[in-house]
């Protein structure tokens, strides 16, 4: 698959598996994301994956489009985890996420229900390498 | 309102048993690697096969893997299970045979990895590695 085709899938998809390293073990978790300016943007409550990415910011995102077993694409994007802490950038990132995912995610649900809930972490994965394979 | 909760052991096993496609996560020198992968689960161990390449290199360097299986209807309706364990290469013929039976029973056309190897039959395993993961932990979450 060409890099252009791989990037196109990465830009259009909304669901990826985030791969990070916790201790010395791999950790794979599905995440919803928005793609903006060569970065994947997402958010999370504090937890294992945030702790892991803070410790080891080199991560990957895997995205696929599977029609059937003879027609599928898989893209692997490598990048670096960065927390978005600037207030304006954070607000912009959150509004982008909410525009794509209007149904409340667990994070907003918690915030809506409990004012004392921990603040969600908003982050970007700055993508620096994309590879893709396909069949069909 | 969306609510997420931990899955029970029974729910996690059921999801692993009915699934066919998951995502294998490996890591080496602090770098992760994730690929889609067909698998079979016998209620105790998870099996997958791959051709020699990046995955086998990662696994040789670090046998600890994470295998993630999901059923996503949409962003507010999903189940996801993560299985952690050590990937051991299956080498004994009878074990290999059993693993292949499990895998082919579920994936009769041998895709996606095998068709690229141009091998004619399952009996020839020359450049195909079969792995078994005996989980040391399994976690799962689902929307309510």
Point out the residue among A27, A103, A106 whose CB comes nearest to the CB of B25: A27
CA dist B103 to A7, A32, A113, A135, Å? 32, 30, 45, 20
Q: ω into residue A12 within 30 of 0, thus cis?
A: no
CA dihedral B55, A78, B19, B142 (to 10 degrees): 140
CATH of the domain at A39: 2.30.110.10
Q: Which helix (H) or strand (E) holds B38?
A: strand B31-38
Residue A13 scores a pLDDT above 90: yes
| Tens-place pLDDT, residues B7-53 | 999 999 999 999 999 999 999 999 999 999 999 999 999 999 888 88
CB B1 to CB A14 under 8 A? Answer: no
Question: Cα(B12)–Cα(A29) distance, rounded to whole angstroms?
Answer: 15
A interface mutation test: which of B21, B23, B29, B34 has the most A CBs within 10 A? B34
B61 interfaces chain A, CB cutoff of 8 Å: no
ipTM over 0.90: no
Point out the residue among A20, A64, A70 whose CB comes nearest to the CB of B32: A20
CB B109 to CB A69 under 8 A? Answer: yes
| Tens-place pLDDT, residues A43-85 | 998 899 999 999 999 999 999 998 877 788 999 999 999 999 9
CB count in 10 Å sphere of residue B95 = 13
CB count in 10 Å sphere of residue A18 = 26
B2 interfaces chain A, CB cutoff of 8 Å: yes
Output the pTM of the full model: 0.87
Do B37 and B28 contact (CB within 8 A), yes or no?
no
DSSP A120: P
Residue B114 scores a pLDDT above 90: no
CB A26 to CB B112 under 8 A? Answer: no
Residue B1 is predicted with a pLDDT of: 47
Question: Cα(A55)–Cα(A20) distance, rounded to whole angstroms?
Answer: 10
Structural domain range at position A35: 3-135
List strand residue ranges (DSSP E) for B39-127, in order.
Answer: 40-41, 46-51, 64-74, 77-89
Number of domains in chain A: 1
Residue B130 is predicted with a pLDDT of: 92
Residue B16 is predicted with a pLDDT of: 97
CB count in 10 Å sphere of residue B67 = 26
Q: Is B106 exposed, middle or buried (0-12, 13-18, 19+ CB in 10 A)?
A: middle
CB A62 to CB B36 under 8 A? Answer: yes
Which residues, including other chains, have CB under 8 Å from residue B68's CB and lie 6 or more apart?
A17, A28, A29, A30, B22, B23, B25, B80, B81, B82, B83
Confidence of residue B115 (pLDDT cuts 50, 70, 90): very low
Do B110 and B51 contact (CB within 8 A), yes or no?
no
Residue B119 scores a pLDDT above 50: no
Do A121 and A83 contact (CB within 8 A), yes or no?
yes
Do A16 and A30 contact (CB within 8 A), yes or no?
yes
Residue B92 is predicted with a pLDDT of: 86
Residue B120 is predicted with a pLDDT of: 40
Residue B129 scores a pLDDT above 60: yes
B34 interfaces chain A, CB cutoff of 8 Å: yes
Between B118 and A29, where is the model more confident? A29
| Tens-place pLDDT, residues B87-112 | 999 988 888 888 888 888 755 555 44
DSSP A104: P
Distance from CA of B59 to the nearest CA of A (A): 11
Distance from CA of A97 to the nearest CA of B (A): 12
Closest alpha carbon to A12 in A51, A64, A82:
A64
> B49: which strand partners?
B130
Point out the residue among A32, A60, A101 whose CB comes nearest to the CB of B32: A60
Residue A102 scores a pLDDT above 60: yes
Between B139 and A135, where is the model more confident? B139
Between B57 and B128, where is the model more confident? B57
Q: Which domains does chain B have, with CATH numbers?
A: 4-138 (2.30.110.10)
CB count in 10 Å sphere of residue B91 = 10
Residue A116 is predicted with a pLDDT of: 67
B87 interfaces chain A, CB cutoff of 8 Å: no
CA dihedral A44, A49, A50, A53 (to 10 degrees): -130
């Amino acid at each position: 698959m060409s890099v252009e085709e791989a990037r196109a899938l990465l830009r259009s998809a909304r669901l990826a598996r985030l791969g990070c390293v916790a201790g010395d073990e791999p950790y794979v978790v599905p995440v919803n994301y928005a793609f903006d300016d060569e970065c994947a943007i997402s958010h999370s409550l504090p937890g294992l994956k945030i702790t892991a990415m803070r410790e080891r910011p080199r991560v990957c995102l895997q995205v696929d489009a599977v029609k059937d077993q003879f027609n599928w694409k898989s893209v692997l994007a490598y990048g670096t985890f960065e927390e978005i802490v600037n207030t304006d950038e954070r607000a912009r990132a959150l509004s982008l996420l909410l525009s794509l995912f209007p149904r409340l995610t667990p994070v907003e649900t918690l915030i809506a229900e409990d004012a004392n809930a921990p603040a969600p972490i908003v982050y970007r994965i700055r993508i620096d390498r994309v590879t893709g394979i396909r069949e069909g | 309102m969306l609510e997420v909760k931990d899955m029970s052991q029974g729910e996690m096993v059921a999801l692993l048993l009915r699934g066919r496609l998951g995502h294998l996560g490996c890591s080496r020198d602090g770098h992760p690697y994730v690929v889609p992968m067909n698998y079979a689960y016998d209620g105790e161990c998870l099996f997958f096969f791959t051709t020699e390449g990046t995955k086998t290199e990662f696994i040789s360097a670090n046998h600890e893997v994470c295998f993630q299986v999901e059923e996503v209807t949409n962003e507010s309706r999903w189940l996801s299970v993560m299985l952690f364990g050590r990937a051991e290469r299956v080498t004994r013929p009878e074990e290999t045979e059993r693993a292949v039976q499990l895998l082919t029973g579920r994936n009769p056309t041998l895709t996606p990895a095998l068709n690229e190897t141009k091998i004619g039959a399952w009996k020839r395993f020359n450049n195909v590695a079969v792995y078994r993961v005996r989980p040391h932990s399994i976690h799962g979450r689902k929307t309510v």
